[in-house]
Amino acid sequence: MDDRTRKLVAELNRASDEERMSFPEVVGALVGAGVERYHMDLVRCERTFYMPDGAFEPVPTHASPPAAQEFSASGVEAAVRVVQQGEVQYREFCGRIAQAGCVGYHVFIAGQRVVYYGRKGGQHVEYFPGAKP
């Protein structure tokens, strides 16, 4: 990953944490930079961006509340719906998915989906709006 892309992902991370950019805006910018996917670790407070060649860049991110012990796919889905509708912002969304037992998620840009997961491997797959499963 070149320095320009490292700086870009760090800025996109900040913009997301500061709620200056929406998820679709961040993903659009990542597509333009050639980023393949990213992983958000809610426990470590770290987002890692990956390039197609295997290069990656871990970036510290905001803290979320501790995740519930049990994973609730319906709780994660409900949080996704309210953030998509603009009823809550990103940090509130992260709090809600943590309450639903989510400890992290993978955003697969080319695959147009996000996989949310819990402590015991429970998961919820959410497709980007308009994407086909």
CATH of the domain at 44: 3.30.1810.10
Residue 61 located in a structural domain: yes
Q: Please list the alpha-helical segments (H only) found in the chain.
A: 3-17, 23-33, 73-84, 90-99
pLDDT band for 33, please (50, 70, 90 cuts): very high
- pLDDT confidence of 97, banded at 50, 70, 90? very high
Question: CA–CA separation, 27 vs 73, rounded Å?
Answer: 23
What confidence score (pLDDT) does residue 64 get?
87
Whether 130 has a pLDDT exceeding 90, the answer reads no
User: Which domain range does residue 44 map to?
Assistant: 3-127
3-state SS, residue 26:
helix
Write out the two tokens for 109.
């840009």
Residue 81 burial (C-beta neighbours within 10 Å; 0-12, 13-18, 19+) = exposed
Average pLDDT, the chain: 95
- Is residue 132 included in any domain, yes or no? no
pTM: 0.94
- Summarised one tens digit per residue, pLDDT across range 70-95 is 999 999 999 999 999 999 999 999 99
Number of domains present in the structure of the chain: 1
133 domain-assigned? no
Residue 74 lies in a domain: yes
Average pLDDT over residues 45-62: 96
